[in-house]
Amino acid sequence: MAVVIETRSLRKQYHLGDVTVEALRGVDFAAAQGEFVAIMGPSGSGKSTLLHLLGGLDSASGGDVLLDGRSYTQMSDDELTITRRRQIGFIFQFFNLLPTLTAAENVALPLTIDGQHPNPSHIMSLLEQVGLADRKDHKPHQLSGGQQQRVAIARALVARPKIVLADEPTGNLDSQSGQAVLDLLRRASREQGQTMVMVTHDHRAAASADRVVFLKDGQTVNMVSLDDTGGKTRTQTVAAVMTEVGL
Amino acid sequence: MSSIYGLAWRYLFANRVRSLLSVAAVMLGVAVTISGSMIAGSVREGILRSDELRVLLEGMIAMLDPAMLFIGMVVMLAAGFLIFNTFGMTITRRRQQIGGLRALGLTRGQTMRVILAEALLLGVVGVALGVIFSVVLGQVLIAFIKPFAERMVAFGDAAPELPVVIFAAVMGLLITLLSVLLPARRAARAAPLDALREPAAAQIEPARRGQTVLGTLLMAGLLAYVILMPPGEWVTYPLDAPLTALVILLWLAGVLLLLPGVIGLAARLGRWLLPGATGRLMTDNLRRARGRVLLTVLTLAFALLVIIALNGFMEFFLNHSVGATLKAAEQRDALFVSRLDIASGWGEVIGRGLESVMLADDELHALVEVVEGSANYTLNYFVVVPELSFFGSGYFSYMIDPVLLRGVGDAMFTFSEGDWDTALPVMEAGCGVLVSPAVAARNNVGLGDTLTVTGRSGPLDCTIAGLGTSVAGATIISDTQHDQLTDMNPSLVLILPRLDTDPAELAARIQALSADFPEIRLTWVSDFAVALDDSGEIINVAFNAMLVLASFAAAFGVVNTMLMSVDERRREIGLLRAVGATRAQMRRIIIGEAVFMGVVGGVVGLAAGLGAVLIIVLTYGLNSIGLKADLLPIALASAQAALATGFAGLIAAPVVAALAAWLPARSILRETPIETLALT
Ligand SMILES: Nc1ncnc2c1ncn2[C@@H]1O[C@H](COP(=O)(O)OP(=O)(O)OP(=O)(O)O)[C@@H](O)[C@H]1O
Ligand SMILES: [Mg+2]
């Protein structure tokens, strides 16, 4: 399958006074069209950092990210922004919604920013898929943390982006709604051919993916494909690798 | 951190820009107050050097001090506004932090003290810098005004006076502390539980309808009242000033009540004008964060209002009130002869003394010989009688022979009470005076009453022979008690050509006298009126220079709120960037919001300012100086005169606001979305 997004020896350093934190030390990562990739790793291993760089939200200290073969470092800020708007959906770990907009307006945001007039039925169907059709006119402060997260997922899908990047999208959810979210992402990758990259700490969530990438100290340490697990369940396979890499 | 006050210091340091702006505002307030009094002091000094002539101008100078003080206070208030705003906002954001400290055992009293310590520190630094800065500012302002004003006044040494410095310093500190009192109380009330709560995202709340209705009714009612039944038609000294102040205060209260509704309405209008995401996000921001938006708009609107009101008032005062007293004479081709050269102004005479403008005996003889038969004339002695001073206690009065006075009649005095037939016998019988109603009211006397005034060799009983308006407002005293009032010659001869005389031809004959008497000058009253207008211009320039400084304080306030407004919304801005808003779009949202506030502030300030001019003129009226005139056309003309300034302000307000927003927008948009999103 065609590679949609890839990184080439991607590095990210944070400078805190004299101290330099190496958040990513040369990561090579690739995801194909329609592929669902989970990223796992201990806290502070660079998962969120990698996701931010994949989304073009931050500048790398070295290396490059290519989306459909186009290098981020070659793009102007406006080109990169338009790319984010039209090709990338992002679900943050925290704070996802604008407080003054309703759920439906938050979902439609990438389209309205793009100057489009979103089709209300499109927005409603997305809200239905995340189980919030009856909350469309609610403001974020009238929604629970999990509900807010689900609105963010609907927003990430609204522009039918090539790639959706999700930072612990199920972290705040009970297992039932968590499962619903995973099914949704799963379906989007199968049916719309969208690429999903999801950071998670939960091996059951990771089991929904086609492939799991393990990060440690800013480097990829392992990678398992869940297409063929040789008799074991996907969950068991992920758990086994997790033990292997010391998670 | 050695004590809880370390918290105060740390917080101020962590918010350097905000602290600096607050300090700068206090500094400006103190500096303007002190330097304003320095200007007045310098002018006074320049005049004191010139013996008796100062009496002619002292009245004007007496007005300079309170005017400068007023502007200083306006700047101080603007500073207080800014500090209140800053602390109010930061404390909303610090509730969490303060709640945490409260949970750890910080008492309410300690919380209060920490915040008051912050304010005190800002106040002390601001006051200290203000005192230092005032010396420079005072000199710069004087250097700036001097070229315009030298025609009219002389300048002496300028030095800050200790009582004024102390006053300004105390006011600076007091206003700083008062401004944080409310925010500090709010902070102290933060419950330990607040530490656990996310700060509530500011929600859009509609303006209170009742308040809007009340404000509209109040403002419309006031305007209707002053236009339909101008209080200025009946009110007179000493009620005129307090009544005007009362009506203006009510007007300002109306503006305050109405403003939230206006902002809400304008936001809705903006939403309609700017469909699409940017317009929506922009107007949403205006409709929440009410306090911040309200304060910004209010700051801009009030700055503009004060400027317009002052300009309109100056127009009224110089051209329709006191200045208008010259009109009667002007209409009849009046001219006067004196040693005063209008082209070089009064400034030239200052330093030479009143004797230098006194006309010599031979000059007077020659002059009377020329005009006798072709014109009516008066010989005007300038005397100073504190009780009869038109304003202050040092303004001059005319001493004139009653029979000559009757000859020029309306050109010198217009009655509002009494008439020539009753006045003349009184004036011929002894010391009879023609005064403005304000002077009569101040001395608590009416037509026919006796007033004891200060003469050169003791008290002198004078009778009120009439009430009304004279040229330049000055009281007219009959010259029957000549020696009691002066030992000098007349300084001015007013000449009113008879109807069968050609004024130009008479003027030529008078002009011919200068061959023998080079010192005398012939001036058409109409030219003098123009010169007086010019002097009015100078006062206007001085006032406006000070007002520009006041506007700086307002601009600081706007910069400050914009900084906070952007800072408050870091995460939202980051999020918008993340989901695909370009830098240009974000700039449009942030700056557009500011421009919007500027436009609303400008429009409200312009409308409220013009309304204030109408109210001032229609309420204050002309009774106190004894003029009778239809007030509404004068009010409209005064408002019209302030219109140019008003429109300049209308354009300046959005520009100032846009610049204020441009700074924080630029710095935040340089970051990557993740840097912006990060909680700092
Ligand atoms: N803005 C920043 N400034 C300095 N260091 C940072 C910053 N953001 C992240 N780091 C550091 O970079 C490293 C990787 O952080 P990252 O957020 O990517 O971890 P993570 O794998 O997402 O962890 P978690 O599972 O806890 O979310 C950490 O050591 C972190 O301390
Ligand atoms: Mg993370």
pLDDT of B20 higher than 90: no
pLDDT tens digits, one per residue of B62-71 = 666 666 777 7
Q: What is the DSSP letter of A143?
A: S
pLDDT-derived band at B52, boundaries 50, 70, 90: very low
- Residue B585 contacts A, CB cutoff 8 Å: yes
Rounded to whole angstroms, how far apart are CA atoms B517 and B367? 10
Rounded to whole angstroms, how far apart are CA atoms B24 and B557? 10
Rg (CA), chain B: 30
| Mean pLDDT computed over B124-148 | 85
pLDDT-derived band at B148, boundaries 50, 70, 90: low
Rounded to whole angstroms, how far apart are CA atoms B612 and A60? 59
Sign for the pseudo-dihedral over CA of B73, B74, B76, B80:
positive
| Mean pLDDT computed over B317-334 | 69
| Mean pLDDT computed over B508-534 | 82
At B16 the pLDDT is: 79
Q: Which of A123-137, B338-352, B625-639 has the lowest mean pLDDT?
A: B338-352
Name the residue with the closest Cα to ligand 1, atom 19.
A44
| Mean pLDDT computed over B392-416 | 86
Q: Which atom of ligand 1 is nearest to the CA of A52?
A: 18
* Sheet of strand A62-67, all strands in order from the earlier edge strand to the far edge: A19-32, A3-16, A62-67, A70-71
Residues 6+ apart with CB under 8 A from A30: A3, A5, A6, A7
pLDDT tens digits, one per residue of A54-107 = 999 999 999 999 999 999 999 999 999 999 999 999 998 777 888 888 999 999
Among chain B residues, CA nearest to A87: B580
Contact between A113 and B673 using a beta-carbon 8 Å cutoff: no
Closest to A58 (Cβ–Cβ): which among B288, B576, B674?
A: B674
Q: Which residues of B touch A57 (CB under 8 A)?
A: 577-578, 672-674, 677
At B194 the pLDDT is: 61
Cβ B433 vs Cβ B475: under 8 Å: yes
pLDDT-derived band at B451, boundaries 50, 70, 90: very high
Give the distance (Å) from ligand 1 centre to CA of residue A60.
Answer: 14
* Ligand whose nearest atom lies closest to the CA of A24: 1
Contact between B284 and A59 using a beta-carbon 8 Å cutoff: no
At B1 the pLDDT is: 45
* Ligand whose nearest atom lies closest to the CA of B674: 1
Q: Which of B118-127, B260-269, B339-348 has the lowest mean pLDDT?
A: B339-348
At B679 the pLDDT is: 47
A14, A48, A53, A57: best mutation site toward chain B, by most B Cβ within 10 Å?
Answer: A57
| Spatial CA neighbour of B193 closest among B59, B100, B299, B293 | B100
Contact between B576 and A113 using a beta-carbon 8 Å cutoff: yes
Cα-to-chain-centroid distance, residue B493: 36
Report percent pLDDT > 90 for chain B.
28
Give the distance (Å) from ligand 1 centre to CA of residue B578.
Answer: 18
pLDDT of B346 higher than 90: no
At B556 the pLDDT is: 79
Average pLDDT, chain A: 90
Q: What is the ipTM of this complex?
A: 0.90
User: Could you give the dihedral angle defined by the CA atoms of residues B614, B615, B618 and B621, in that order, rounded to the nearest 10 degrees?
Assistant: -110
At B352 the pLDDT is: 56
pLDDT of B389 higher than 50: yes
Quote the pTM value: 0.77
pLDDT-derived band at B270, boundaries 50, 70, 90: confident
A interface with B, Cβ–Cβ < 8 A, is 52, 55, 57-59, 77-78, 81-82, 84-86, 90, 92, 95-101, 109-110, 112-115, 139-141, 155
Cβ B103 vs Cβ B195: under 8 Å: yes
Through-space distance between the first and last CA atoms of chain A, rounded to whole angstroms: 30
| Spatial CA neighbour of B569 closest among B182, B284, B186, B261 | B284
Average pLDDT, chain B: 82
Q: What is the DSSP letter of B316?
A: I
Contact between B575 and A77 using a beta-carbon 8 Å cutoff: no
pLDDT tens digits, one per residue of A155-174 = 999 999 999 999 998 887 78
At B680 the pLDDT is: 41
Instruction: Give the 3-state secondary structure percentages of chain A, helix then strand then coil, rounded to 5.
Output: 40, 30, 35
Q: B16-48 vs B5-14: helix axis angle to the nearest 10?
A: 90
Closest to B276 (Cβ–Cβ): which among A85, A86, A115?
A: A115
Contact between B285 and A100 using a beta-carbon 8 Å cutoff: yes
DSSP 3-state of B108: helix
Backbone angles phi, psi at B642, to 5 degrees: -85, -5
Question: If you average pLDDT over each of B517-521, B598-602, B624-628, which comes out highest?
Answer: B598-602
* Sheet of strand A88-91, all strands in order from the earlier edge strand to the far edge: A88-91, A163-167, A195-199, A36-40, A211-216, A219-225
Rounded to whole angstroms, how far apart are CA atoms B388 and B438? 10
Cα-to-chain-centroid distance, residue B199: 42
Other C-beta atoms closer than 10 Å to the C-beta of B273 total 11
- Ligand 1 pocket, Cβ-based, cut-off 6 angstroms: A 14, 16, 21, 23, 41, 43-49; B 678
| Spatial CA neighbour of A83 closest among A73, A93, A96 | A73
Report percent pLDDT > 70 for chain B.
83
pLDDT-derived band at B354, boundaries 50, 70, 90: low
| Mean pLDDT computed over A14-18 | 87
pLDDT-derived band at B311, boundaries 50, 70, 90: confident
Instruction: With residue B477 as reference, give the H or E element that holds it.
Output: strand B476-478
Q: Which of A235-244, B80-89, B93-102, B339-348 has the lowest mean pLDDT?
A: B339-348
Rounded to whole angstroms, how far apart are CA atoms B119 and B424? 66
At A50 the pLDDT is: 95
The beta strands (E) that lie in B331-457 are given as 335-338, 375-383, 397-400, 413-417, 432-435, 450-455
pLDDT of B73 higher than 80: no
